[in-house]
């Protein structure tokens, strides 16, 4: 079994981790992310790129500050990802006339094509997770996660 694929070991005393929500959120996030990266194959991107590319594709002209806010990432990591995606020809950034320090981001044709492939694989990933959870538990989990995100902001 690979290091990232272990299951919970009943012989291990997890102590407070057994009921610590943050611990389980982190493990679930890591396993879900690893599974998604495996599914992406040749379309694999740096961490965070899928989220940011999707936000730009769905919100043409979105700024770095807005991306940072809605993606839950700091501005400097968003800046690095934007630079990388611009260098790769996936997005273009246009300086805003009313704020010369800010840029609006847009997907390029190559970015739109990649985003479409990634979105299809994300739909497959979501269906896989739904098959594990069932539609009712999936809906409840999403509501719970959104409530946590809002309450802890």
Rounded distance between C-alpha atoms, residue 153 and residue 144, angstroms? 14
pLDDT digits (tens, 9 = 90+) for 58-77: 999 999 999 999 999 999 99
Q: Is 19 left (phi over 0), alpha (psi -120 to 50) or beta?
A: alpha
Give kind and range of the element (H or E) at residue 93.
strand 91-95
Rounded distance between C-alpha atoms, residue 125 and residue 123, angstroms? 5
pLDDT digits (tens, 9 = 90+) for 94-144: 999 888 788 999 999 999 999 999 999 999 999 999 999 999 999 999 999
Share of the chain above pLDDT 70, in %: 95
Distance of CA 114 to the CA centre of its chain: 15
Indicate whether this model's pTM tops 0.95: no
Domains with residue ranges and CATH for the chain: 43-152 (1.10.10.10)
What stretches of the chain show up as alpha helix (H) in DSSP? 21-40, 49-58, 64-71, 75-87, 109-133, 135-152
Confidence of residue 45 (pLDDT cuts 50, 70, 90): confident
Structure tokens, 79: 């800046």
**Which pLDDT score, from 0 to 100, does residue 41 have?**
86
Distance of CA 18 to the CA centre of its chain: 26
Q: Tokens 């990432």, residue?
A: 73
């Amino acid at each position: 079994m690979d290091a990232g694929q272990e299951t919970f070991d009943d012989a291990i005393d997890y102590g407070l981790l057994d009921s610590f929500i943050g611990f389980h959120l982190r493990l679930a996030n890591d396993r879900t992310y690893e599974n998604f990266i495996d599914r992406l194959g040749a379309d694999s991107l740096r961490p965070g790129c899928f989220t940011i590319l999707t936000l730009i594709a769905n919100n043409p002209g979105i700024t770095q500050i807005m991306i940072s806010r809605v993606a839950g990432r700091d501005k400097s990591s968003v800046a690095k990802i934007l630079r990388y995606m611009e260098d790769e020809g996936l997005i273009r950034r246009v300086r805003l006339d009313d704020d010369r320090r800010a840029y609006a981001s847009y997907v390029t044709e190559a970015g739109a094509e990649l985003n479409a492939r990634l979105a299809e694989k994300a739909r497959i990933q979501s269906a896989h997770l739904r098959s594990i959870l069932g539609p009712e538990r999936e809906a409840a989990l999403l509501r719970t996660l959104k409530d946590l995100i809002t309450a802890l902001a």
